[in-house]
A and B are shown apart, each in its own frame.
Chain A
Amino acid sequence: MEDNEIIEFYWRRSEQAIQESGSKYGSYCLSIANNILSNLQDSEECVNSTWLNAWNAIPPQRPNHLSAFFAKITRNLSINKLKARTAEKRSGNEATVVIDELGECLSASDNVEAEYQGKELGEKISQFLRTLSERECNMFIRRYFYVQPVGEIAKHYRLKESNVLVILSRTRKKLRFYLQKEGYMA
């Protein structure tokens, strides 16, 4: 089924919207959630909540990129669940590693409270990503948006894991400079 047909079901408030979303994007969203949570049961809950969130958001929204729309919702829900979980106990899963890696983009003094809008920062990161080659950009998204393991990324690009790690490290360094330049860091 085409994305615009699924969106139409949402707009018509037809429950088929949720069935079709699950059928087309269920496993896609489940893999995103599971990359972050490393727990199938929690991941399934996030995916189910994704359709509910989409139901509440459409209308009024009419996403141009439905898969990315679902991906973002799933990712946010999964992060929230991860936060709740890690508040109890540090989990040590792939997401924890990814979040630690992102610390390299920040200076020590940035771990203080700073006023920023997530959306605005997201836009800046998008601008930064557009300065990269398509492969660097996609590799960054695979790692830090989808939270894919490095081995999986290496396999996708037919590279050694060490090569992927080097590329990601350089990209993080570039992001750090970019964020400094844009005034997000001291």
Chain B
Amino acid sequence: MNNMELFEAIGEIDSDLITRCENEVVHAPKQTWVRRLSVAACLCLVMLCIFTLPIFKQAPNTPITPGNNSSQPTTPNNALLYINQLKQEPSFQNSVISLNVNDFIAMTDDEFLKYYGISFSINRAVPAFELQLLNPANNNGIFRNSSRGTYYDSHTFVFANAVNTQRLEITLSKTAYYPGLIIGTDESTTQLKQSELGGFAVTIFQYAGKDGSTCFYTEFLNNGIAYCITSYNLSQKDYTAALSSVIADNVNTEANKSGAKNAHMVTGTVNAVDENANLISISVGDGAFSTLRVYLPDGEAKRYSVGDQVEVSYVGNPITICTIWERQLKSINTVNG
């Protein structure tokens, strides 16, 4: 028997197995970190890697103008809007953080709001939306001990309409948090474009959900808090309104007044290299969010080793993203030779 014969014989497997495979339903992962964590009886897990292969491809960036035939973005209400189209629903990174169940401190939504020092007035922007009550079974809370301090504090606030057909999820964290969006870099040299809402730079993605619904996603950092804001079945207008409301209520726009379209430089130490993903990770030294992921042109990741000091020049605001996509990258140089 040779490989081809085995391959052919696989074509003779029972039809019911093929039909079962065709009809397989893969259940969507639960949306919040804490929900995932609550399932685990023992929360002593191992920190895995921060890298995941980028498996999604980006379509060329499209400014949202009528007919998409203009190079100018729209500018409604103090907003400069660009929507980066994703061809497919993105996947989100699974970083697993070592947690100890003895360190768990339960918290309510109000307590979380105080903890982050933020507030929301989403229902002024989208009147149909109400903050959804926490499911007590989900054991929402943070993880803290004397030696590590607060080492896990991610929490998701869910806003939805009365019939739960439209939803906005805002996941926040003050501790080390790797933004979850996995995105490919190989299709276009067009720069990933950032929008400005209320003078604050954000990168907005749009994609079609599993049921064909329109979804938007944004991630940014401000005042030491990571925001990941995902909508399901919300119009662009409502998503922008909700996002603008979050920014107006909470974001210090002075922190990134340098603008999304400017070039910036960051220096850091390479702490991981993933040649398959054309990706390196660099420690930039200060603050809770001290790691930046940098996507490189094909084949270039192998030029770097852990410990190298690099200077990265890129377009986009350094405090609004934890990821520098290849499209944003202008240059990268090893400083220590």
| Interface mask (A110-152 → B, CB under 8 Å = 1, otherwise 0) | 1100101011011101100110001001100110111000010
For residue A58, CB closer than 8 A to chain B, the reply is: no
For residue B88, CB closer than 8 A to chain A, the reply is: yes
Beta-carbon contacts under 8 Å, A127-186 to B: 129-130, 134, 137-138, 141-142, 144-146, 151, 154-158, 160-162, 184-185
- In the complex where A76-B11, A106-B6, A185-B1 touch, is A129 in contact with B55 (Cβ < 8 A)? no
Listed residue (B6, B14, B22, B28) with the most chain A CB atoms within 10 angstroms of its CB = B6
When chains A and B are docked, how far (Å) is the Cα of A83 from the Cα of B13? 20
From B11, B13, B24, B94, A129 is in contact (CB under 8 Å) with: B13
Chain B residue nearest to A36 (CB atoms) is: B7
For residue A100, CB closer than 8 A to chain B, the reply is: yes
B21 x A111 contact (CB < 8 A): no
For residue B91, CB closer than 8 A to chain A, the reply is: yes
Chain A residue nearest to B22 (CB atoms) is: A67
For residue B40, CB closer than 8 A to chain A, the reply is: no
In the complex, chain B residues whose CB is within 8 Å of the CB of A126: 13-14, 17
When chains A and B are docked, how far (Å) is the Cα of A103 from the Cα of B9? 13
Chain A residue nearest to B9 (CB atoms) is: A121
Shortest C-beta distance, B209 to chain A (Å), equals: 14
In the complex, chain A residues whose CB is within 8 Å of the CB of B18: 65, 67-68, 71-72, 141, 145
For residue B19, CB closer than 8 A to chain A, the reply is: yes
For residue B8, CB closer than 8 A to chain A, the reply is: yes
Shortest C-beta distance, A29 to chain B (Å), equals: 12
Shortest C-beta distance, A74 to chain B (Å), equals: 10
From A111, A151, A157, B26 is in contact (CB under 8 Å) with: A157
For residue A99, CB closer than 8 A to chain B, the reply is: yes
For residue B47, CB closer than 8 A to chain A, the reply is: no
Shortest C-beta distance, A141 to chain B (Å), equals: 4
From B8, B17, B24, B91, A158 is in contact (CB under 8 Å) with: B91
Chain B residue nearest to A129 (CB atoms) is: B17
For residue B29, CB closer than 8 A to chain A, the reply is: yes
B20 x A83 contact (CB < 8 A): no
**Chain A interface helix/strand/loop/mixed:** helix
Beta-carbon contacts under 8 Å, B33-74 to A: 52-53, 55-56
B8 x A76 contact (CB < 8 A): yes
When chains A and B are docked, how far (Å) is the Cα of A145 from the Cα of B18? 8
For residue B2, CB closer than 8 A to chain A, the reply is: yes
A68 x B15 contact (CB < 8 A): yes
For residue B4, CB closer than 8 A to chain A, the reply is: yes
When chains A and B are docked, how far (Å) is the Cα of A157 from the Cα of B24? 10
Chain A contact patch, size range: 35 or more
A79 x B55 contact (CB < 8 A): no
For residue B5, CB closer than 8 A to chain A, the reply is: yes
B3 x A100 contact (CB < 8 A): yes
- In the complex where A116-B1, A160-B52, A161-B55 touch, is A123 in contact with B12 (Cβ < 8 A)? yes
In the complex, chain A residues whose CB is within 8 Å of the CB of B24: 134, 138
A118 x B21 contact (CB < 8 A): no
- In the complex where A65-B19, A137-B21, A155-B91 touch, is A184 in contact with B1 (Cβ < 8 A)? yes
From A83, A121, A154, B12 is in contact (CB under 8 Å) with: A121
When chains A and B are docked, how far (Å) is the Cα of A185 from the Cα of B139? 53
In the complex, chain A residues whose CB is within 8 Å of the CB of B88: 155
B53 x A118 contact (CB < 8 A): no
In the complex, chain B residues whose CB is within 8 Å of the CB of A67: 18-19, 22
When chains A and B are docked, how far (Å) is the Cα of A184 from the Cα of B17? 22
For residue B10, CB closer than 8 A to chain A, the reply is: yes
B52 x A142 contact (CB < 8 A): no
When chains A and B are docked, how far (Å) is the Cα of A28 from the Cα of B105? 50
From A111, A125, A129, B2 is in contact (CB under 8 Å) with: A111
Chain B residue nearest to A75 (CB atoms) is: B11
Listed residue (A114, A122, A134) with the most chain B CB atoms within 10 angstroms of its CB = A122
A134 x B10 contact (CB < 8 A): no
> Which residues of B approach A to under 8 Å, CB–CB?
1-22, 24, 26, 28-29, 52-53, 55-56, 88, 91, 94
> Which residues of A approach B to under 8 Å, CB–CB?
63-65, 67-69, 71-72, 75-76, 79, 83, 95, 98-100, 102-103, 105-106, 110-111, 114, 116, 118-119, 121-123, 125-126, 129-130, 134, 137-138, 141-142, 144-146, 151, 154-158, 160-162, 184-185
13 chain-A/chain-B pairs, Cβ below 8 angstroms: A65-B15, A79-B7, A102-B3, A103-B3, A106-B1, A116-B9, A119-B12, A130-B17, A141-B18, A145-B10, A154-B53, A155-B56, A155-B88
**Apart from A76-B8, A102-B6, A151-B53, what 19 extra A-B contacts exist at CB < 8 Å?**
A65-B19, A68-B16, A68-B18, A68-B22, A72-B11, A72-B12, A121-B9, A125-B12, A126-B17, A138-B21, A141-B17, A144-B7, A151-B55, A155-B55, A157-B26, A158-B26, A158-B29, A161-B55, A184-B1
